[in-house]
């Protein structure tokens, strides 16, 4: 099938006026607790327990988190022309295009009915990126960005996240029907909060996320990374009218355990879409901390600036063959990438060994070694 990318909406081809003073990174900005190694080891062990449980039950190993994919897409990332020097860093250092793989998912480490409604994830693998690499990524030519549809994390530190992860490990692949009932209750509570202008990230993470279209969401890296000499977070927002029309659109998931996947497949069967990649630079370490992942960086003080576009043509969005190629054959980690985009902060530091464990376990259990692609002609259909 030939791929024809949709025409971009009529918007400026370059970033808006850049009028902030980004903070340059210094090594002592990262504050590593003395016992962080023990915490990270415990996090990795909890994730391994989740993976061992599900692989035993399914006869097939899946990810410790974001196990269920809903859309697996091939697209193109186009870096914008004439970016200001502070924005022209790493992957975005100069105008050009790269093939990308996009994986839409939901949070749990077990394969649940979509009636258990949890936050959504988007993982992006940019292929063909040159430059000095991160430790462990030598010889690769990819850059991964791992995101959720929230501007901040539910836990401030790895130690806080460990408490939640231990609870999740105890309930992995258990009481699926009870989780559906609980999710319905939590969605009602969250809807009541949102009706009065409030919301709860905790309720959403436990199953209270509204039953809405995945493709209308804006995604964020949540936690920071190096952006050349600076510190940044990244977001990906829908911009083509066909996608923005889906923002907050309700989806009927009754008797549709894979309804989110069905919706994405139906969308891309006959149309494409476009997202804008945006970068937010740190300007004040007190208000925009590195080590507290639960703090939302103030967009009035430092807005997100567009640096690239991602375009996806009509295509099969999820097939068994694509799942074998992407879900089983690829791993997504912020530590797959350039030294210019080194992950920062405790949550990012904990991801490196945890994600490596998950990928290694899956590759060994499934007999399908994980690999980093050097090129991407197409995904299987």
**In degrees, to the nearest 5, what angle opens at C-alpha 202 toward C-alphas 199 and 206?**
115
Phi, psi of 56 (to 5 degrees): -65, -40
**Greater model confidence, 335 or 193:** 335
The CA distance from 141 to 330, in Å, is: 14
- C-alpha 354/C-alpha 359 separation (Å) is 9
Contact 97, 78 (CB under 8 A): yes
Determine the Cα–Cα distance for residues 377 and 265; give it in Å rounded to an integer. Answer: 20
Domain contains 198: no
User: What pLDDT, on a 0 to 100 scale, did the predictor assign at position 346?
Assistant: 97
Closest CA to 302 of 18, 67, 32, 69: 18
Q: Beta partners for 238?
A: 275
C-alpha to C-alpha distance for 377 and 335, rounded to whole angstroms: 24
Whether 380 maps to a domain, the answer reads: no
Residue 7 falls within a domain, yes or no?
Answer: no
Per-residue burial over 121-136, b = 16 or more CB atoms within 10 Å of its CB, e = otherwise: bbbbbbbbbeeebbee
- pLDDT tens digit string along 77-96? 999 999 999 999 999 999 99
Point out the least confidently predicted range of 198-207, 301-310, 340-349, 357-366: 198-207
Q: Is the pLDDT of residue 181 over 70?
A: no
**Which CATH number goes with the domain that contains 173?**
2.40.180.10
For residues 53 and 265, give the distance between their C-alpha atoms in angstroms, rounded to a whole number: 29
The verdict on residue 157 lying in a domain is yes
The number of CA neighbours under 13 Å toward the Cβ of 347 is 23
Collapsing DSSP states into helix, strand and coil, what is residue 65? coil
Tally of structural domains, the chain: 1
* Mean pLDDT, residues 288-292: 97
Task: Please check whether residue 19 lies inside any domain of the structure.
Answer: no
Is residue 249 assigned to a domain?
Answer: yes
- For residue 169, give the nearest of 38, 37, 357, 43 by alpha carbon: 43
DSSP 91: G
Give DSSP secondary structure letters for 220-286: E--S-EEETTEEEEEEEEE-SHHHHTTTT-B---TT-TTHHHHHHHHHHTT--EEEEEEEEE---TT
Cβ 110 vs Cβ 172: under 8 Å: yes
The closest of 222, 226, 221 to 344, measured between CA atoms, is 226
CB contact set of 203 (below 8 Å; sequence gap of 6+): 186, 189, 190, 193
Asked if residue 349 belongs to a domain, the reply is yes
Contacts of 148 (CB under 8 A, 6+ apart): 107, 119, 120, 121, 122, 219, 220, 222
pLDDT at 275 over 50: yes
Residue 271 lies in a domain: yes
The predicted pLDDT at position 15 comes to: 47
Q: pLDDT tens digits, residue range 186-236?
A: 555 545 555 646 566 665 565 668 889 999 999 999 999 999 999 999 999
Most confident of 94-103, 171-180, 198-207: 94-103
| Residue 135 near residue 278, CB atoms below 8 Å | no
Side-chain-facing half-sphere of 33: CA atoms under 13 Å: 14
Find out whether 143 and 91 touch, Cβ atoms under 8 Å: yes
| C-beta separation of 379 from 323 below 8 A | no
Asked if residues 97 and 79 have their Cβ atoms less than 8 Å apart, the reply is yes
User: Residue 27: its pLDDT value, please?
Assistant: 95
Range of the domain at 142: 27-177+210-366
């Amino acid at each position: 099938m030939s791929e024809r990318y949709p025409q971009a909406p009529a918007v400026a081809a370059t970033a808006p006026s850049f009028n902030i003073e980004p903070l340059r990174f210094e090594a002592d900005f990262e504050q590593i607790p003395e016992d962080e190694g023990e915490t990270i080891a415990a996090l990795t062990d909890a994730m391994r327990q989740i993976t061992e449980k599900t692989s035993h039950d399914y006869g097939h190993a899946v990810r410790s988190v974001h196990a269920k994919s809903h859309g697996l897409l091939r697209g193109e990332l186009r870096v914008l022309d004439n970016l200001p020097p502070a924005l022209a860093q790493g992957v975005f250092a100069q105008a050009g295009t790269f093939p990308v793989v996009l994986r839409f998912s939901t949070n749990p480490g077990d394969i649940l009915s979509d009636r258990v409604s949890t936050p959504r994830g988007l993982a992006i693998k940019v292929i063909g990126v040159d430059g000095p690499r991160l430790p462990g990524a030598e010889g690769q030519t990819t850059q991964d960005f791992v995101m959720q549809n929230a501007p901040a994390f539910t836990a401030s530190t790895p130690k806080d996240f460990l408490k939640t992860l231990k609870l999740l490990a105890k309930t992995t692949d258990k009481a699926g029907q009870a989780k559906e009932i609980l999710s319905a209750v939590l969605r009602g509570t969250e809807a009541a909060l949102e009706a009065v202008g409030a919301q709860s990230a905790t309720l959403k993470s436990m199953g209270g996320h509204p039953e809405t279209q995945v493709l209308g969401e804006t995604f964020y890296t949540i936690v920071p990374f190096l952006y050349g000499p600076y510190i940044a977070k990244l977001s990906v927002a829908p911009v083509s009218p066909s996608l923005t029309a889906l923002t907050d659109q309700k989806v009927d998931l009754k008797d549709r355990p894979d309804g989110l996947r069905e919706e994405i497949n139906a969308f891309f069967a006959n149309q494409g879409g476009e997202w804008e990649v945006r970068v937010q630079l740190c300007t004040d370490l007190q208000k925009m901390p590195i080590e507290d992942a639960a703090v939302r960086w103030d967009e009035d003080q430092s807005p997100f600036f567009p640096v690239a576009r991602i375009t996806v043509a009509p295509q099969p969005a999820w097939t068994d063959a694509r799942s074998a190629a992407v879900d089983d054959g690829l791993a997504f980690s912020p530590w797959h990438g350039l030294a210019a985009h080194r992950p920062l902060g405790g949550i990012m530091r904990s991801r490196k060994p945890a994600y490596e464990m998950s990928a290694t376990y899956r590759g060994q259990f499934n007999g399908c070694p994980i690999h980093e692609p050097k090129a991407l002609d197409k995904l299987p259909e």
